[in-house]
Amino acid sequence: MALFAFSFWALWPYLLAIFAAFILIFGFMLVSAIFSVWLERKVAGRIQDRLGPTRVGGKFGWLQTLADGIKLLVKEDIIPTSADHMLFRAGPYIALVGSFMAFLALPFGNGVVAREMNVAVFFMLAVMSTEVFGIILIGYGSGSKWSLFGGMREAAQMVSYEIPMALCVLVPVIVAGSMNLNAVALQQKNGIWNWYIFHDPFTFGAFWTYFTCAMASCKRAPFDLAEAESELVAGFHTEYSGFRWLSIFMAEYGSMFAVSGIANVMFLGGWSLGLPFEMTELFGSFLGETWGTIVGNLINVTVFIFKGWFLVFVMMWVRWTLPRLRIDQVMMTCLKYLVPISCVLLMGVSLWLLVVPQFIQAYFNWLMFGVCVALLVVLIRQWYSWASSVPSDAMPGMWRSIGVPGYQGAKR
């Protein structure tokens, strides 16, 4: 007994650190989900010319999501008579744990990670893939054919898109020579032109292919056929309400940020601001190692979270802009197009590193970065010209009936 008490007393600082890491990660997942729900409503309202949340919590409807969360916590939790009670209860939490575990290996700053791993990127992909078990249990345990159909479609979609997504992650892994996310991010710290998205044409293509597969694996439109309201009501979670329904969507929004975090680290410099120095090293040079690490990582974490939320915003942007595909189109997009494309990108980056001369590799990222900046300038200029043009000039052919007598109140 005394030996057990002594060993526990020696281990309690580590146990306290583990508990603190759990609280921080789970708290971030919860806050991120609350913010994402609010942002999704505002993005949908802006794109589709609707109001979105406006009344609760001031001008921008800040407290609307909190009010909805309180409603879900106190809402009656109904289990259908035909449901398997154990599977019905366990499914949402299995999905949530799969999403939560991915955050254990995700670095938010230089060394700011719950558990640094040499195989971190594939650990994240592996644990996020366990979410599909929760989806299957949710669909099967609900005792409803519509939930079962939605669960099976979701399982097929998630498993299929994990293949090209993992192949695309291999592309920057080959360039970096490491699967340690912290090490990969540090290799991109010396300027935005050194981010792996600009390394060569194959890493550039791998980013967009990965991001497309990530949207599909997170059940986001136009790939959300598992939840197609016109066909399957709400899909696999049709029979859920209350806190369990909340857990399902916490898992979804958590997975959205996790896959965005992988894209951020592997392609977009991680917590780098794009400047030719790393924040902890910069502040450590005149504040000392301890305070320099703290101040620098505060900036690093802020930058990383902003980048992750920006990619989540892009997912929402795509969802409320494009129409959803049919289920056969969703599967064909993966198996017929994205899998071959990801294989070509993987082979291409391998040949690039082996065949292309070193002096070309050393300066090609500058060329790629310059081309992307030029295309961005052209795109912004085009947006501005569209916004300042009358509809007939911005969309030729769409407004030819304007001015015709009797058309939508036009003058006769």
Residue 158 CA to residue 131 CA, distance in Å, equals 9
| pLDDT tens for each residue of 226-248 | 666 566 577 788 888 888 888 88
**What is the predicted pLDDT for the residue at 73?**
84
| pLDDT tens for each residue of 103-125 | 999 999 888 898 889 999 999 99
**What is the predicted pLDDT for the residue at 167?**
94
Return averaged pLDDT per consecutive 10 residues of the chain, 412 residues in all: 57 78 87 88 84 72 83 84 90 91 92 89 92 90 86 86 93 93 91 92 94 88 69 78 88 92 94 87 82 89 94 91 83 91 94 90 90 91 70 49 47 46
- Among the listed residues 142, 272, 219, 192, the one whose alpha carbon sits nearest the alpha carbon of residue 280: 272
Half-sphere exposure of 217 (CA within 13 A, CB side): 30
- Per-position DSSP letters for 320-373, written without gaps between them: TTSPPPPHHHHHHIIIIIIHHHHHHHHHHHHHHHHHS-HHHHHHHHHHHHHHHH
Residue 66 CA to residue 12 CA, distance in Å, equals 35
**What is the predicted pLDDT for the residue at 1?**
54
**What is the predicted pLDDT for the residue at 407?**
42
| pLDDT tens for each residue of 302-319 | 999 999 999 999 999 998
**Alpha-helical regions (H) of 103-228:** 120-129, 131-141, 145-176, 181-186, 201-217
**What is the predicted pLDDT for the residue at 81?**
87
Q: Cα 1 to the chain's mean position, in Å?
A: 48
| pLDDT tens for each residue of 357-399 | 888 888 898 999 999 999 999 988 887 776 565 555 544 544 4
Residue 260 CA to residue 34 CA, distance in Å, equals 17
**What is the predicted pLDDT for the residue at 410?**
44
pTM above 0.85, yes or no: yes
